[in-house]
């Protein structure tokens, strides 16, 4: 049972570079989410999706883009990376809004 799988686990980017953080789930969950967690802080919602083809902004969407072409995959795209995007990124999924989330193990991103 894989659950939510995130790749890569670690990445160092130079300012201005771009990258895509991958997230895939095998639980047939409709709802998927991207959060970022800064050191010693809670989780801030970047984007979420309630189903294939539908995405919505969260609390901190600036500098990011997402797409949801399939139920399984929810990639997060960083364009023109900035030091402020240094963080740990977590992808999560759930079968409904009133249900617990299953989180991936995270991607630690450093922008230098």
Partner 1 sequence: GENVEQHPSTLSVQEGDSAVIKCTYSDSASNYFPWYKQELGKGPQLIIDIRSNVGEKKDQRIAVTLNKTAKHFSLHITETQPEDSAVYFCAVTPGNDMRFGAGTRLTVKP
Q: Which residues bind partner 1 (CB under 8 A)?
A: 4, 31, 33, 35, 40-43, 45, 48, 50, 56, 58-59, 90, 92, 97-106
Q: What is the 3-state secondary structure (H, E, C) of 41-74?
A: CCEEEEEEEEECCEEEECCCCCCEEECCCCCCEC
- Which residue, 38 or 79, has its beta carbon nearer to partner 1? 38
Which residues are 73's β-sheet partners? 24
Nearest approach in angstroms of CB 90 to partner 1 is 5
Spatial contact of 92 and 35, defined as CB atoms under 8 Å apart: yes
DSSP code of residue 73: B
Nearest approach in angstroms of CB 76 to partner 1 is 15
Nearest approach in angstroms of CB 16 to partner 1 is 29
| Residue 1: exposure state from Cβ atoms within 10 A (0-12, 13-18, ≥19) | exposed
Nearest approach in angstroms of CB 54 to partner 1 is 10
- Which residue, 62 or 97, has its beta carbon nearer to partner 1? 97
- Which residue, 27 or 50, has its beta carbon nearer to partner 1? 50
């Amino acid at each position: 049972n894989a659950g939510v799988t995130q790749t890569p686990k670690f990445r160092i980017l130079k300012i201005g570079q771009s990258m895509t953080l991958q997230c895939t789930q095998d639980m047939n969950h409709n709802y998927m989410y991207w959060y970022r967690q800064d050191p010693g802080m809670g989780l801030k919602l970047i984007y979420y999706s309630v189903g294939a083809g539908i995405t919505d902004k969260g609390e901190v969407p600036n500098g990011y883009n997402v797409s949801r072409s399939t139920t399984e995959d929810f990639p997060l795209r960083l364009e023109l990376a900035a030091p402020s995007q240094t963080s740990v990124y977590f992808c999560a999924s759930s079968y409904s809004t009133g249900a617990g989330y299953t989180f991936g193990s995270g991607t630690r991103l450093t922008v230098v």
